[in-house]
Chains A and B, each alone.
Chain A
């Protein structure tokens, strides 16, 4: 059973471009969570999705950021018009139901030049 797959692992964008991060949850998992982590800082919750529905987006900036988890395919975290402050590691996690036992991917590291 493959783990949580995130891609790309590393992404470089120039200011103003768009970044799309993809997350394929573990097989059988319908709950997906996105987190952001800056060097030497803790995990910052962004959004919690369950197939086609956003359950909690309280941690996601109101502008430029969006997330989806369609019925088919991976979950996508989209950042429009990136700025240098968006540079961070973005982690995706999944679970089979609403639980604190999450399975994390290896992360996508975004660098904005």
Chain B
């Protein structure tokens, strides 16, 4: 069964304290891995797409990496405004040319000033 697991469930950091969030997956036919950010009371916001092992993407203090079994979202010198829930989703094929997303439960990040 296709599955996406994120860890830790919650993470509390001091401002400037770098860390990493993990997204591990067991799926058949990976078509892409996606990271999203969700603020309280808002819809998720797309951050990154990764397609193949070894690929990396960066945006400000965030860097996403991908291996054959997992992805990491590295947060360098985080600021309080980075506090949010970070969601990972893996895309797998559906019938025809369509695809579906399998979502993790997210990591809730809190960055203290």
Contacts and interface: CB of A to CB of B under 8 A. Distances in A.
| Bound together | yes
Nearest to A55: B98
Given A100-B99, A106-B43, 15 more contacts: A4-B43, A42-B103, A42-B105, A43-B87, A43-B103, A50-B98, A56-B94, A93-B43, A98-B99, A99-B32, A99-B99, A100-B91, A100-B101, A101-B34, A103-B46
Nearest to B85: A42
A109 to B, nearest CB: 9
B31, B45, B100: which has the most chain A beta carbons within 10 Å? Answer: B100
Contact of A55 (B34, B49, B94): B94
Contacts of B100: 45, 48, 56
A107 interface: yes
B78 interface: no
Contacts of A93: 43-44
A41 interface: yes
B75 interface: no
Contacts of A112: none
B89 interface: yes
Contacts, number: 59
- Top 3 nearest A-B pairs by Cβ distance? A104-B43, A42-B105, A100-B34
A106 to B, nearest CB: 6
B44, B91, B97: which has the most chain A beta carbons within 10 Å? Answer: B44
Interface in A88-113: 91, 93, 98-107
Given A41-B105, A105-B43, A107-B43, A98 B98 contact: yes
A104 B43 CA distance: 5
10 contacts: A41-B105, A42-B105, A56-B94, A91-B44, A93-B44, A99-B91, A102-B101, A105-B43, A106-B42, A107-B41
Nearest to B100: A56
Nearest to A44: B103
Contacts of B33: 100
B43 A91 contact: yes
A101 B43 contact: no
Contacts of B46: 101-103
